[in-house]
Amino acid sequence: MRVIRSVSGMQRLSLEWKRAGVRIALVPTMGYLHAGHLSLVERARKAVGSRRKVVVSIYVNPTQFAPSEDFSRYPRDLTRDLRLCRSKGVDILFVPENADMYPNPPGEEFSTYVTEEKVSRGMEGASRPTHFRGVATVVAKLFNIILPDVAVFGAKDYQQAAVVQRMVRDLNFPLRIIVSPTVRERDGLALSSRNKYLEGTRRADALVLSRAIRKARAAVSSRRNGSLSAPRLKSDLRRLIAKVPSARLDYIEFFDPGTLVPVSTVKAGVHLALAVFIGNTRLIDNARL
């Protein structure tokens, strides 16, 4: 496994590979890797086969964090990430620097952004107004630098995957997006690098997200032949979450899994997503019901 830090060095290698007909799979991450990321690496390897190349990028992208958010304290452990990627047979670990990704010479500052204006609007987009602009921009950059045939994203960031898929369709990126299932701890907690922030009893409190999903699922399956009112089910889940003193609901939404448009009645196939602060830690989760 090679570690590449320079944008031009990475792009040069990708271009060489493309000219030689080598297929490339990309797993974009912000590092501090966990079993969820590693499942994406496995999915990427499966997609392109053993003789092709798997690139993992590790980049905590500043443009997708608001000034008030956790950019500077986002967990980082490159030594461990390196070891994990090596153990998974990753070919290239791409770890660019901010000054290389967002060049800033006086008078010629970075000034181009990609914005998606429909599926990025609600939920995460409403709570974090510039988040998806940062995501779409950095993902477009990574696609142009690494030139993957396939890119693998985690379903835990469901809306992010939808924004990226829309961008790929609209801007005609010549690649395929794979969305790989959320990996969970045994007790149901969705894996996230931010789980590291959960200290003491907060770890148990964080289970309220997956508990809400289970409750919604149970409600749907107990009404197999009817449909549920979304506002009513939302209040039930709000009450469930309010029982945990450290929890503060940011949003909970039922929506069409393809268009991400909110629905007023809930039935099997509808998607649920929620964001909850556990203390100061903002966690998200989602599932198809």
Which of the residues are catalytic? 37
Phi, psi of 178 (to 5 degrees): -110, 130
- Using CB under 8 A as the binding rule, whether residue 51 contacts its own copies is answered as no
Q: CB-wise, 85 or 145, nearer to its own copies?
A: 145
Q: CB-wise, 21 or 226, nearer to its own copies?
A: 21
Least Å distance, CB 7 to its own copies, is: 7
Residues numbered 106-135 forming contacts with its own copies, rule: CB under 8 A: 107-119
- Using CB under 8 A as the binding rule, whether residue 18 contacts its own copies is answered as yes
Least Å distance, CB 13 to its own copies, is: 11
d(CA 144, CA 269): 35
Q: Which two tokens stand for residue 230?
A: 């979304």
- Using CB under 8 A as the binding rule, whether residue 221 contacts its own copies is answered as no
Least Å distance, CB 140 to its own copies, is: 5
Single out the residue of 81, 29, 24, 83 nearest to residue 54, CA to CA: 24
Single out the residue of 226, 223, 205, 178 nearest to residue 54, CA to CA: 178
- Using CB under 8 A as the binding rule, whether residue 223 contacts its own copies is answered as no
Pair 43, 80: CB distance under 8 Å: no
- Using CB under 8 A as the binding rule, whether residue 103 contacts its own copies is answered as yes
d(CA 182, CA 205): 19
Q: CB-wise, 65 or 132, nearer to its own copies?
A: 132
Least Å distance, CB 166 to its own copies, is: 6
Q: CB-wise, 20 or 99, nearer to its own copies?
A: 20
Residue 222's Cβ-count burial label (10 Å; 0-12, 13-18, 19+) is exposed
Least Å distance, CB 184 to its own copies, is: 30
Residue 263's Cβ-count burial label (10 Å; 0-12, 13-18, 19+) is middle
- Using CB under 8 A as the binding rule, whether residue 264 contacts its own copies is answered as no
Q: Measured between alpha carbons, how far is residue 223 from residues 99, 210, 274 in Å?
A: 55, 20, 22
Residues numbered 155-214 forming contacts with its own copies, rule: CB under 8 A: 166-167, 169-174
Pair 71, 60: CB distance under 8 Å: yes
Instruction: Single out the residue of 14, 29, 61, 195 in contact with its own copies (rule: CB under 8 A).
Output: 14
- Using CB under 8 A as the binding rule, whether residue 15 contacts its own copies is answered as yes
Instruction: Single out the residue of 89, 129, 181, 258 in contact with its own copies (rule: CB under 8 A).
Output: 258
Q: CB-wise, 44 or 114, nearer to its own copies?
A: 114
The letter for the amino acid at 86 is R
d(CA 14, CA 148): 8
Footprint on this chain of its own copies (rule: CB under 8 A): 7, 11, 14-15, 18-21, 103, 107-119, 136-137, 140-141, 144-145, 147, 166-167, 169-174, 256, 258-259, 261
